[in-house]
Amino acid sequence: MFTLPPLPYADNALEPVISANTISFHHGKHHKTYVDNLNNLVKGTPFEGATLEKIVTDTAGKADQAALFNNAAQIWNHTFYWHSLKPHGGGKPTGKLAQMIDASFGGYDEFRKQLSATTVSQFGSGWGWLVADHGALKVVKTANAEVPFTKGQKPLLTIDVWEHAYYLDHQNKRAAYVDAVIDRLLNWDFAAANLG
Ligand code: MN
């Protein structure tokens, strides 16, 4: 059985960028529904007892397994998202990440511009990501439940741009939400741990 992972902080810890009200729906309803759906979907299938990563990897791109993929990937994406954020986060990374950002983007300012523009421009529901890909860092976006690791890219950070992530707090102003997340909430310690 899959379970809803607890938040790594209090539900009001990301205010005012992300309110406790948004978190209560996003974690307590949306994320939990993906968990409940997947538990129902795997019953009696070879995926019963499999890890989330195995279900995501094995069902990616298979039209007849889209429900399994979507729910498993959305559990994975949301858990990764909660850890991509922290109270009093944001700002510039240090150490190896800072060096790789300079090498891959020509500096933090250009990286920040690309992360914001790429994430804001995702058409419809999806995700903006910082990933490691063959020794370089890249900014990518994915639609709906898609995840970079099925394409060989290692996720370091993500920003959810499904409307449920920001509409209660920012309404249609997706860019205001994305920029505030980048500047005030990104968890660079998590990114550094993912980079390894
Ligand atoms: Mn979401």
* pTM to 2 decimal places: 0.97
Distance (angstroms) between ligand 1 centre and the Cα of 137 equals 24
Q: pLDDT of 6-40, one tens digit each? A: 999 999 999 999 999 999 999 999 999 999 999 99
Q: What is the pLDDT of residue 28?
A: 98
CA of 84 to the centre of ligand 1 (A): 13
Under 8 Å between Cβ of 147 and 155: yes
Calculate the CA dihedral of residues 90, 190, 117, 7 and round it to 10 degrees.
-80
What pLDDT score was predicted for residue 186? 98
Q: Which amino acid makes up residue 179?
A: D
pLDDT confidence of residue 57: 97
**Ordered structural domains, the chain, with CATH:** 20-84 (1.10.287.990), 95-195 (3.55.40.20)
What pLDDT, on the 0 to 100 scale, is given for residue 191? 98
CA of 81 to the centre of ligand 1 (A): 8
Instruction: For 140-195, write each residue's pLDDT tens digit.
Output: 999 999 999 999 999 999 999 999 999 999 999 999 999 999 999 999 999 999 99
pLDDT for res 96: 97
* pLDDT, position 91: 93
Q: What is the mean pLDDT of the chain?
A: 97
Tell me how far apart the alpha carbons of residues 31 and 122 are, in angstroms, rounded to a whole number. Answer: 21
Going from the Cα of 110 to the center of ligand 1, the distance in angstroms, rounded, reads 27
Mean pLDDT of 114-132: 98
CA of 89 to the centre of ligand 1 (A): 20
Distance 195 CA to ligand 1 centre (A): 23
In this prediction, residue 159 carries a pLDDT of 98
Q: What would the two tokens of residue 172 be?
A: 């249609």
pLDDT of residue 167: 97
Query: What tens digit of pLDDT does each residue of 58-99 get?
Result: 999 999 999 999 999 999 999 999 999 999 999 999 999 999
**The CA-based dihedral angle spanning residues 116, 120, 126, 132, taken in that order and rounded to the nearest 10 degrees:** -20
Please state the rounded mean pLDDT for residues 104-132. 98
